[in-house]
Structure 1
Amino acid sequence: MSYPKRLAGLATIDSFIVFLSIYVSFLLLNPTPGIIQSKTLLISALTIFVAHHVTASFYGLYKKAWAYASVGELKAIIKSVTITIAVVSVVQLIGVQHIYFRALMITWMLHLMLIGGSRFVWRMYRDSKVKRTNGEFKPTMVVGAGQAGTMVVRQMNQNPENGLKPIVFVDDDRTKQQLDIYGVNVAGGLKDIPRLVKEHQIENIVIAIPSMPKMDTAELTKLCIDTGARTQTIPRIEDLMTGKVSVNDIRDVKIEDLLGREEVELDMKAIADKLENKTILVTGAGGSIGSEICRQVMRFQPKKLVLVGHGENSIYLIDRELKGMGQNTEIIPVIADVQDRNRIFDIISELAPDVIYHAAAHKHVPLMEANPFEAVKNNIFGTKNVAEAADTFGVGYFVLVSTDKAVNPPNVMGATKRFAEMVVQNLAKTSNTKFAAVRFGNVLGSRGSVVPLFKKQIAAGGPVTVTDERMTRYFMTIPEASRLVIQAGTLASGGEVFVLDMGEPVKITDLARNLIKLSGYEVEDIGIAYSGIRPGEKLYEELLDTSEIQQEQVFPKIHIGRATPIAESEQLYVLSTLSTMKEEELKLTLISLANRKIPESPSKSLTKV
């Protein structure tokens, strides 16, 4: 119903109610035909009519959504009716020098009951109509009987189309246990979740404790997932309260929620000083990390953002997305391959970036093991091209996106990334450009990562393939990885390797089990198959070698290590001979150098050139 029609309808109903209330009250006290024509009654009726509509408008009685009426709306009705009766009493005193207290008291009660009843009857009607057209409601448990949880239950009751029926609360606050809130019993604490799920045949669990630390939330989430019920969580409580989101925005728990790690908070001022109104260049801008770096950088309103990548479709997509943000930043998409040295030098010379984030890389371990020369060309020579261009044209800061696979690497991919770090570190010794590298663990949801693969296998009915039951990896989210890259640019003084404190490594088998349960299946339904370690893989990853570790954090949750590069002369010799090596020799040389297992003096290297 449109607002004008709704306003007209409510005003008509209210007009009938106010006249009815005052006429009935006078007739109850003086049930004679003559009272209808009383001058006092006529004056009082006209006064209550005008006063009611004025106060009703003032308190917004014609604008409220009465299907969601509660205590606040009731207070507004009481205030409006009371002030209306007070105005009538003043008019009676002035007009007839007498206040009819008993009649006005009855009028007040009738007025309040009828106005309130006319509003709340819609609420009662809507609540009584709680039914689904496509089946029964899903019995739902709400974890947390605080402000967020009670709001979730209330919205579930008011939004039956969501198909969720709150059956039980759980909360560790003993003062709330066994109480009923909005008709839902607080049946126990968090430890009682498995038992209550079975007792009440719960199909859906909503975690509604937004203030809980992430580590505790992760443990709670695992407990809920293990019950077999679909597990969901709520948006931020402030968004629920302000109406930005509703119960419709309750989302399924994601695998990221199980990491149990607080996100890194940025030093916004330091980053703004480096990025605001500057020219920023991102290589690999169409990739998972590169595109997220671009999104994060846009928050700081750079003058120009240069998107460099060799995949035209991925660059097109991120270009359109960023331009759709409606900011004043000039977005410059550039199709180029970092292996093309002349092209890279031309781009950096022409656009003169202040900061470069180098995210372009080949990162798939088995593929690079089978194609080592491509890994060398992209990860080593591509990095060398961009880094040396940054040095040549005086770029202020250069940040290399590296990997935990660069630590003691047994594979080509990790070895090429460690070699790329050494290229950057050696340049940092003499360059005016501030060079740094940032090492990540595995990034959840990035292209080529294990999570999308597992999801496809689950969707296909299984089994989920894990290489080894003992295998562990560090994990982080794409936004976390991108924030670390950006923050590293503000901390760099030259040659550092930055590492995020990523907590404990995660067993890949546990990750697979959790993903299966998050998808609504039991592990037995999908199955987990162990395929054996692939060429170049390690059972576990390290973020820093023991010789590189510095315990002190240079920024909350960010450590720094000074990984030692090989001698520049040796680096030059290796770079000059890589293209002439056979595949096995190439692999052996790269892995040995990355692990510092070739004790070779600079003089000996020079003689080989």
Structure 2
Amino acid sequence: MSGNSATILAEISRMAPPGPGLDEAVLPRLRELSAALVAASGESAAEFRRYLSVAERSIEVPDDGVREYLAGRTVLVTGASGCIGTALLRRLARDRPGRLVALDLVAPRAPVAAYHQVDVRDRDALVNTVTEIKPDVVFHAAAQRDPSLAERAVHRTVTTNVFGTRNLVEACAQAGTDRLVLASTGKALRPYTPDVYAASKRVAELIVADAATRGVLRASAARFTHVVDNAIVLDRFRSWCRRGEVVRLHSVDSMFYAQSARESAQLMLVAAVTSAEDGLGLHAIRNLGWPVALLDVALGAMAEQGVAPLHISGYDPGYEEQAFPGLYDPTFAGDLSPLINSFEAPGARASASPDVDLVVNKVTLPEDARHRLDELDALCETERDAEVVRDGFDLLSRTLLEVTLASVPQDVLRRVVDLARPHVHRMNETNMFIHHRVRMRAGQVTRPSSAPVGIRNEAAS
């Protein structure tokens, strides 16, 4: 960032401090400053072009192995009308499985042998439909994927992402499905989070991992990061700019990795053919390139669609401001995908693609975790209030943190504690909670302390 750009950003922040509200009287001046920032940030245009070009990227896929695996098989894709589902259907059509079937609330844009309009939240309809189809392979891409919406539509997100996945696992088991491939997210690498979307995908991974570990079915997962082709944030920036509305930016320091819908579909195929018989095989692209600056995307959208007032508003609910400082181990950084965390990295294996890393999650949900899951399911049957469902879901999420940590070797837990300890002074409440629970599991704390503000003491006991 040039000195002039930094000066302009400082003035923008001074005139419009972070927060949800914004004085309309400052908008004309913010617009002037934003125009000056676009003009002064020449490197942002190149970075924006680099970001958009990610949509053309591919990874190496073992084509012969994929075709051999799919030959004569019935393949079912859930969430088939979405961006990833569409990319996957088009790629699968090239590989010519025996039969290609789609399931979604909306008919897919890509050609298929059959389409079934089913909501994954409807357990009976889903089980009946999957049992009728008898798929050999299921690619599960149906989900509520918007982190901001998840904080408002808590019931919808939990019932879709968590119980929709559990329903599908049951359906696949009854239908005798050979393999389930789950579309997951890099946000699921957080061992615990109060953010509803990230937690819902984390729980979905653990539900599938439990089924795979118990031998109910073979399963894999593909962890995606920001997919350029259907980027929520880019759509918002472009829409705000076209309408001349305020462009809200979490932070000028926000960076993120990106991948393409094509890579995402390819990653799911790699996950389908990579053997992981002892648990859930988690797959992630190793080289995601240099991370993208959110500010460059905002300025690129302005240059493309028209200048609008920029507001550095702070982090919205559902978006993580501070990652747990023990989440990445420098020992593995640079050699493994950034979508694999420090708890998982020591167990990394080779996959069917040189571009994809694989870790295996072997976990069996204990009785208390199953009880929490059933309690939440019953709660969602009778209650739709966002805060009531959020509280019940958070109890489950914290229970599953203990399940996750119980499966991690002691030497790895101690390593994570050492990595996080120098950053204790700047940890937020959530990360202090994680750090304390890791220390408990590592034997470095003999009894629970009081839970941080906002974290219920029940979880720390």
Q: TM-score range by the shorter chain?
A: 0.5 to 0.7
> In the alignment, is the contact (CA less than 8 A) between 2:55 and 2:262 conserved in 1?
no
Report the equivalent of 1:539.
Answer: 321
Rounded Cα–Cα distance in structure 2 between residues aligned with 1:290 and 1:598: 29
1:137-156 deviation line (CA, Å, top 9, x unaligned): xxxxxxxxxxxxxxxxxxxx
Match of 2:394 among 577, 581, 588: 588
1:425 positional shift: 0.7
State yes or no: 1:437 paired with 2:221: yes
* 1:172-251 alignment, distance < 5 Å: 226=42
Question: Does 1:302 pair with 2:97?
Answer: yes
Alignment correspondent of 1:509: 295
Aligned mate of 2:58, from 259, 263, 267:
263
Contact 2:151 2:196 in 1 (8 A): yes
Deviation at residue 363 of structure 1 after TM alignment: 1.4
| Cα distance in 2 for residues equivalent to 1:430 and 1:565 | 8
SS of the counterpart of 1:415? helix
Query: In structure 2, which of residues 266, 270, 273 is the aligned counterpart of residue 483 of structure 1?
Result: 266
Does the Cα contact within 8 Å between 1:362 and 1:368 map onto a contact in 2? yes
Shift, 1:520, TM fit:
7.1
Q: Report SS of the residue matched to 1:285.
A: coil
Q: CA deviation at 1:580?
A: 5.1
Aligned to 2:144: 362
Amino acid aligned to 2:298: A
Query: Are the equivalent residues in 1 in contact too, given 2:79–2:143 (CA < 8 A)?
Result: yes
Which one of 416, 423, 431 corresponds to residue 207 of structure 2?
423
The amino acid that maps onto 1:576 is D
User: How much has 1:304 moved relative to structure 2?
Assistant: 1.5
Contact 1:344 1:386 in 2 (8 A): yes
- How far, CA to CA, are the matches of 2:81 and 2:361 in structure 1? 29
State which structure, 1 or 2, has the greater radius of gyration over its C-alpha atoms: 1
**Is 1:453 paired with 2:236?**
yes
**Structure-2 separation of matches of 1:264 and 1:588:** 36
Gaps of 5+ in 1: 1-224, 232-251, 323-329, 602-609
Q: Secondary structure at the match of 2:374?
A: helix
CA separation in 2, counterparts of 1:580 and 1:351?
28
Q: Secondary structure at the match of 1:596?
A: helix
Map Cα deviations across residues 410-446 of structure 1 (whole Å, 9 max, x no partner): 3111111111111111111233632011111011131
Corresponding residue for 1:347? 129
Aligned to 1:382: 164
Q: CA deviation at 1:481?
A: 0.8
Distance 1:527 1:556 in 2: 44
Question: Hey, what's the Cα distance between the residues in 2 that align with 1:350 and 1:535?
Answer: 41
Evaluate the alpha carbon distance shift between residue 491 and residue 261 of structure 1 in structure 2; reply closer, same or farther with a 3 A threshold. same
CA-atom RMSD in angstroms: 2.9
Deviation at 1:486, TM superposition (A): 1.4
* Residues 545-582 of structure 1, C-alpha deviations (whole Å, 9 max, x = no match): 21101455422121112345462423321121114553
Q: Which has the higher contact order (CA 8 A, sep 6+)?
A: 2
1:526: how far off?
Answer: 3.6
TM-superposition CA deviations, 1:336-356 (whole Å, max 9, x none): 011111211212221111110
Question: Partner amino acid for 2:289?
Answer: G
Cα distance, 1:281–1:399 mapped onto 2, change above 3 Å: same
2:198 to 414, 430, 437: 414
Quote how far apart the aligned CAs of 1:597 are: 8.0
The aligned residue for residue 34 of structure 2 is none
The answer (yes or no) to whether the contact 1:426–1:568 under 8 Å persists in 2 is: no
Residue 367 of structure 2 aligns with which residue? 569
1:498 and 1:304 map into 2 onto residues whose CA distance is 25
- Residues 584 and 416 (structure 1 numbering): CA distance in 2 closer, same or farther, change over 3 Å? closer
The TM-score normalised by the length of structure 2 is 0.66
How far is the alpha carbon of 1:379 from its aligned partner?
0.9
- The normalised TM-score by structure 1 is 0.51
Aligned-partner residue type, residue 295 of structure 2: T
Amino acid at match of 1:497: L
* Residues 365 and 536 in structure 1, CA contact (< 8 A), matched pair in contact too: yes
| Paired residues of 1:441 and 1:476 also in contact (CA < 8 A) | yes
Three-state SS of the structure 1 residue aligned to 2:368 is: helix
Amino acid at match of 1:543: L
- Identity percentage of aligned residues: 25
Determine the C-alpha separation between the residues in 2 that align with 1:344 and 1:276: 25
The answer to whether the 8 A contact 2:369-2:399 is kept is no
Q: Which amino acid aligns with 1:544?
A: I
* 1:284–1:360 Cα contact (<8 Å) kept: yes
Structure 2 unmatched ranges of 5 or more: 1-40, 324-337, 380-387, 408-461
1:161-206 per-position Cα deviation (integer Å, ceiling 9, x unaligned):
xxxxxxxxxxxxxxxxxxxxxxxxxxxxxxxxxxxxxxxxxxxxxx
When residues 260 and 357 of structure 1 are mapped into structure 2, their CA distance, relative to the original with a 3 A threshold, is closer
Matched length = 337
| Kept after mapping to 2: 8 A contact 1:464/1:512 | yes
Go from structure 1 to structure 2 and tell me whether the alpha carbon gap of 1:455 and 1:578 turns closer, same or farther (over 3 Å shift): same
Which residue in 2 is equivalent to 1:288? 83
2:181 aligns with one of 374, 393, 399:
399
Cα drift, residue 381 of structure 1: 1.1
Partner of 1:326: none
How far does the alpha carbon of each residue in 1:443-497 deviate from its partner, in whole angstroms, 9 at most, with x for none?
A: 1131x61112222222223543212222222211111111101111001424111
Mark the CA change 1:275 to 1:483 in structure 2 (over 3 Å): closer, same or farther: same
Alpha-carbon shift at residue 273 of structure 1 (Å): 1.1
State the alpha-carbon separation in 2 of the partners of residues 591 and 485 from structure 1.
26
- C-alpha change, 1:255 and 1:460, in structure 2 (3 Å) is farther
CA deviations over 1:522-559 (Å, ceiling 9, x no partner)? xxx44432222111311367622211014554221211
